[in-house]
Amino acid sequence: MSEPETSAPSLLDATLALQRQAYHAHPVPTLQERRADLRTLQRFIREHKDALCDAISADYGHRSRHETLLAEVFPAVDGIDHVLRHLRGWMRPQRRAVDWRNFFGARNRVMAQPLGVVGVIVPWNFPLNLSLIPLSYIFAAGNRAMVKMSENSRHLAAYLIKHMPAYFPPEKLQFFDETGGVGVAFSTLKFDHLLFTGSGQTGRAVMTAAAQNLCPVTLELGGKAPAIVCDDFPLATAVERIMFVKLLNAGQICTTVDHAWLPAGKVDEFVALARRIVAVRYPQLSSPDYTAIIDERAFERLLAALDDARNRGARVLPLLDGPAFDRQLRKIAPHIVLDAPSDSVLMQREIFGPILPLRSYSTLDEVVTAINAGPRPLAVYPFSHDAHRVQHLIDHVMSGGVSVNDALFHVGQHDLPFGGVGESGMGHYHGHEGFETFSKMRPVFYQARFSSLRFLWPPYGQLADRVLAFLIR
């Protein structure tokens, strides 16, 4: 297991000093060294995938093994293949233009160089995906990394702390468990970059702490990502896709569909279709394919949100026959909520559970106005085959990312950047942008053997006057 709480800050400081020293001794790993690190990381995932699935399931109480393989193991393994294919090109210095009038014969280049030591603060909902995928870009950029796991990922953290040293030495990579106060101490370290994924409230605290060191941060937060179903899109297809994403990981995804907008008159049909789909996919609450809620606090929060909506006059509709929840299994049945007041908990806070409020609209302008009245979401999901309508929504509703005619899957595209905007986050990783996030894109100017600027050296006279007149004519 991890170090005792009293020694955690000293262990953090010692690890940072060790990694910083290793960085200074070898600041720019070669292409071959970076590829070796990436293949080692991929080998670790493949050799330990079953145990990693078991550890995550133990942390959840129950986590569908197939969901872990689909949403965590596969994206990490496949993402490393993508990085390996593109790394040589990403590392190649970029040629940039030179103003020949001032700097005739000179050259400009932009070189991607390692920042040094990167800190990663990982949430509990996809702890393997959100630690190892960032590491693939951190290593591709030639850095070293310290990774702090969530207090709700104790089994996984223990496994990584125990087994990862056989693959990477501590001067390259080290994992830390949350034993109390570790996260606060971690965010105050003088990293060269800090990546945080989690809630907006914690993100503010992390950014405040990092600001004391002028440490740049990438914040991946959340928000109320809406699906917008237009009247031209087949409703049955929309329901199939929305319910798959909404119930994946029991809705505990920052980029899931938080709520859905439907054309007036289509709400009842959506509910009927959703009931049939859920009954087939999850015949009962105890289904091994249906994931538990992460902990008791989250379980009670979701039940309280349903009670709040019900007490305010909303229609709360469980989509499975039988009990609406099981405390022993810590599972809550999929629910649809109709007519939830705008000031209810479900409509004010990110839901992060298997509850889908539905809202109806008469015109798309109503939807645009309502979404823009709140914080900018991490994602928006328009469903329409009308390209002009889709582009109108993309243009008028700002969000971190967009999936058209589906949800979530823009995050799974290796060559697209992933990130939020406004209160849903800042900065990007994934794709080439991920490599650049963890690199210093360093401008380098090479002066020619003969500098034309010598004509502008003082003392200034008529020659300088003529040169400047030529330059600004």
H or E stretch at 422:
none
370 close to 377: Cβ distance less than 8 angstroms = no
Alpha-carbon gap, residue 204 to 98, rounded angstroms: 41
Q: How many residues does the chain have?
A: 473
Cβ-based neighbours of 211, under 8 Å, separated by 6 or more: none
Classified as helix, coil or strand, 6 is helix
Which tokens in the block code for residue 432? 């080439």
Long-range contacts of 298-302, Cβ-Cβ distance < 8 Å, separation of 24 or more? 298/252, 298/352, 298/353, 299/325, 299/327, 299/330, 299/332, 302/332, 302/351, 302/352, 302/353, 302/355
Alpha-carbon gap, residue 424 to 186, rounded angstroms: 22
Assess whether 254 carries a catalytic annotation.
yes
User: Where do the H-state alpha helices sit in 148-266?
Assistant: 154-163, 182-187, 200-211, 235-247
In eight-state DSSP terms, residue 418 is: B
Assess whether 220 carries a catalytic annotation.
yes
Annotated catalytic residue, options 72, 220, 350, 436: 220
CB atoms within 10 A of CB 442: 11
Cβ-based neighbours of 141, under 8 Å, separated by 6 or more: 112, 114, 115, 435, 438, 439
Annotated catalytic residue, options 72, 254, 350, 423: 254
Alpha-carbon gap, residue 332 to 289, rounded angstroms: 13
Amino acid at 6: T
Cβ-based neighbours of 234, under 8 Å, separated by 6 or more: none
Distance of CA 98 to the CA centre of its chain: 37
Give the bridge partners for 217, in sequence order. Answer: 194
The 3-class SS string of 268-279 reads HHHHHHHHHHHH
Report the catalytic residues. Answer: 220, 254
